Amino acid sequence: MAEKAATITSTRSKGLILFIAGLFFAILWSSAAVATKIGLQSAQPFTICIARFFLAGTVMLLIAHVAMGKRLPTGKEWKQLSIYGLLNVSIYLGVYIVAMQQVSPGLGSLAIATNPVFISVISSLFFGQKLRPAIIISLLLCSAGVTLAAWPLLQNSMATPLGIGLLMSSMLVYSIGTLYFSRQSWSDLHILTINGWQTLLGGVFLLPVAIFTFQPSKNVWDGHFFGSVLWLAIPVSIMAVQLWLFLLRDNPVKAAFWLFLCPVSGYIIASLLMKEPIGLYAVMGMLLVIGGLYLVQRKKAA
């Protein structure tokens, strides 16, 4: 009886830890859109990117190589990290932050949640997996959800067609980067080593663009800038990613269901901090995206 009680207590404790981890992941991950929008009030997009990437990358590499004593990448691992950093950091986040100049933070967080659908579609089209009806329906639902949520924002000048196009293009690049990562052999490289170097290399690749487009008069080194960079670097780039990996190690299918919360928490954060209205169109759009995500995750679970 004592052993059974201890097992039940341990299971409940683990469940509570996973629940808290998932909740914090969804909140931190979806907060990136608002933090980006706040930073854009004071600085150019690539200025924010460079500061974020170099800060986050340096912190992760100091922890991995100095504090934890993990090994450096070798040989072809540098090529893999470079390609992954180019896709997952330079292009994805570079295009994303430019798009955020022309869309609302709520819409930005809603788009992030569509990534699992893009990943499933790309896997089906390019890697020989059958394009099932559920995937097609999921793509249509998510596309309709983003369009519906964006419609009143277009009318109120809170979003532009170009901004929405760039936003969805960035999601496509992120999905390609995710698939690239999953199909490479990383040997015994620690996840902080991978994340740290791909973030730092992504910043290095983006640096020439940032230098070429830099205009001193458009950058103010105030609380909005530093607060945005610190939040994007530490809670989002480091903490949220580590929480996500923790959830994935326990159960990938269950972990993916926390993505359902991201559009909801993103809109709530945007409403509280940026006074973005949550109207009927936004709610209906969220429900359509969540429905599309559910179909994809149900397929994976099956």
Q: At what angle do helices 191-213 and 76-85 cross, to 10 degrees?
A: 50
Instruction: Return the sign of the alpha-carbon dihedral for residues 154, 159, 165, 168.
Output: negative
> DSSP H helical segments within 127-260, as ranges?
133-155, 161-182, 191-213, 223-231, 241-250, 252-256
pLDDT digit string, tens, across residues 90-143? 999 999 999 999 998 888 888 877 777 787 778 777 776 666 777 778 778 877
For 67-102, b/e burial (b = at least 16 CB within 10 A) is eeebeebeeebeebbbbbbbbbbbbbbbbbbbbbeb
pLDDT band at 264 (very low <50, low <70, confident <90, very high): confident
pTM of the model: 0.84
Q: How far is CA 107 from the centre of its chain?
A: 13
pLDDT digit string, tens, across residues 219-263? 999 999 999 999 999 999 899 988 887 887 776 666 767 777 788
CA gap 148, 134 in Å, rounded: 21
Residue 47 Cα distances to 51, 208, 215, 220, angstroms:
6, 11, 10, 11
Structure tokens at 290: 């969540």
